[in-house]
């Protein structure tokens, strides 16, 4: 098995690493403190084609592969987890389903503005009573002439307060459970009856807006439907598989930031006449962090490779997301411990890494759900 990256993939990784180090990382603490949307950073990312990496150039994207996406996501998230999740949602949860299920005309209309980075996209799935159980969703789409009338509220939507476009899941046929769900792509800025509700105050990823989307007799045109009615649940599952690769990459980036900061501190901090990095108790923490993050990266690259080869990757994506997010959380917790009291104060970035890492165990499917997905695939022999 060849673990070597191609020259193009190395070039992308190195380019994004330089950009993240010089143009993103210096602003991460300020963005976290002020909760400010990083518009100027996203504009630069758009120029680099990072907001539509795997979308063909024909539709405004970078025309790259998903391995390059993972490498780029790690570097951006290592510098700023908020910028990382904005990038992940735009690529995995908006661009992917429009690219995979949209017609040529829909891609021109709804994909190109977002893949190019001129606009941002979001994904409207979660509701107050429908998180891990999407069949319980209450948002509806009812035919109205040649269009649709949308009613309902979506909850915890990343980018929801700033997005121009939304891939939206809604019930088109009540009483059919999963088979009654359809997917729509909606231009939020041109949809009467749409409004942004509460923008949540969160523990972490504070420069990334998390908002309610409210639809009250909102009209969507006929071409808003992706695929056919009733195909939404299947489309959703495939979309979330790719989303889990994105969040696994985000988690690895956060974990690597925690490891790097802990290592640098351990080399400088002296106790009992020598750097604490020379104490075995600290060395074992650093070793475990490095070992788990390397394993997480390999799992994530495997999932991305399978996606690029158009091979099944549901189980592999769930494994990557679950292991990477758990590893990132452990790295952040241990990083705080290495720094001691300094790890607990905001003068140092470690406490931000810990706050940012936690959400990766929750969104794109909780890690409890990830384990169910993995077990289901094992039982089926996949």
Residues with catalytic roles: 364
CA distances from 363 to 276, 312, 360 (A): 36, 22, 6
Distance (Å, rounded) from C-alpha 141 to C-alpha 225?
10
Rg, the chain, Cα only: 21
Query: What is the C-alpha to C-alpha distance for residues 252 and 331, in angstroms, rounded to an integer?
Result: 10
Q: Where are the alpha helices (DSSP H) in 5-62?
A: 7-19, 28-34, 39-47
CB of 320 closer than 8 Å to CB of 314? no
**Exposure b/e, 346-361, CB count within 10 A at least 16 = b:** eebbbbbbbbbbbbbb
Nearest CA to 120 out of 152, 93, 150 is that of: 93
Q: Are strands 270-271 and 225-226 parallel, antiparallel or unpaired?
A: unpaired
Question: For the chain, how far is it from start to end, CA to CA, in angstroms?
Answer: 21
Q: Burial letters for 2-36: b for 16+ Cβ neighbours within 10 Å, e otherwise?
A: eeeeeeebeebbeebbebbeeebbebbeebbeeee
- The rounded distance, in Å, linking the Cα atoms of 360 and 131 is 15
Q: Which residues of 312-345 are buried (b: 16+ CB within 10 A; e: fewer)?
A: ebbbbbbbbbbbbbbbbbbbbbbbbebbeeebee
């Amino acid at each position: 098995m060849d673990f070597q990256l191609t020259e193009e993939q190395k070039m992308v990784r190195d380019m994004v690493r330089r950009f993240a180090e010089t143009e993103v990382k210096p602003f991460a603490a300020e963005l976290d403190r002020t909760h400010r949307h990083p518009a100027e950073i996203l504009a630069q990312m758009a120029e680099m084609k990072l907001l539509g990496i795997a979308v063909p150039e024909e539709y405004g994207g970078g025309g790259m592969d998903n391995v390059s996406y993972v490498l780029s996501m790690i570097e951006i998230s290592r510098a700023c987890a908020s910028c990382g999740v904005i990038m992940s949602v735009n690529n995995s949860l908006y661009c992917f389903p429009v690219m995979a299920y949209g017609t040529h005309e829909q891609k021109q209309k709804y994909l190109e503005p977002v893949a190019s980075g001129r606009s941002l996209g979001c994904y409207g799935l979660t509701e107050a009573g429908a998180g891990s159980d999407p069949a319980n969703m209450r948002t509806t789409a009812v035919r109205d002439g040649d269009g649709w009338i949308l009613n309902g509220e979506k909850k915890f939507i990343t980018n929801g307060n700033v997005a121009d476009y939304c891939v939206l899941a809604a019930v088109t046929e009540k009483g059919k459970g999963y088979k009654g769900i359809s997917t729509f792509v909606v231009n939020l800025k041109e949809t009467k009856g749409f409004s942004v509700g509460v923008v949540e105050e969160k523990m972490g990823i504070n420069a990334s807006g998390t908002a309610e989307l409210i639809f009250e007799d909102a009209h969507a045109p006929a071409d808003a439907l992706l695929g056919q009615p009733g195909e939404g649940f299947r489309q959703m599952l495939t979309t979330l598989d790719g989303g889990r690769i994105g969040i696994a990459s985000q988690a690895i980036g956060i974990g690597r930031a925690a490891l790097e900061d802990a290592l640098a501190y351990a080399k400088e901090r002296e106790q009992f006449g020598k750097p604490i990095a020379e104490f075995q108790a600290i060395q074992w923490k650093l070793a475990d962090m490095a070992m788990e993050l390397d394993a997480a990266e390999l799992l994530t690259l495997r999932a991305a490779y399978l996606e690029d080869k158009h091979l099944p990757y549901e189980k592999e994506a769930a494994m990557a997301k679950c292991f990477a997010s758990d590893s990132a959380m452990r790295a952040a917790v241990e990083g705080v411990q290495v720094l001691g009291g300094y790890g607990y104060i905001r003068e140092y970035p470690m406490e931000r890494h810990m706050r940012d890492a936690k959400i990766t165990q929750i969104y794109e499917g909780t890690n409890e759900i990830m384990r169910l997905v993995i077990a289901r695939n094992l039982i089926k022999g996949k």
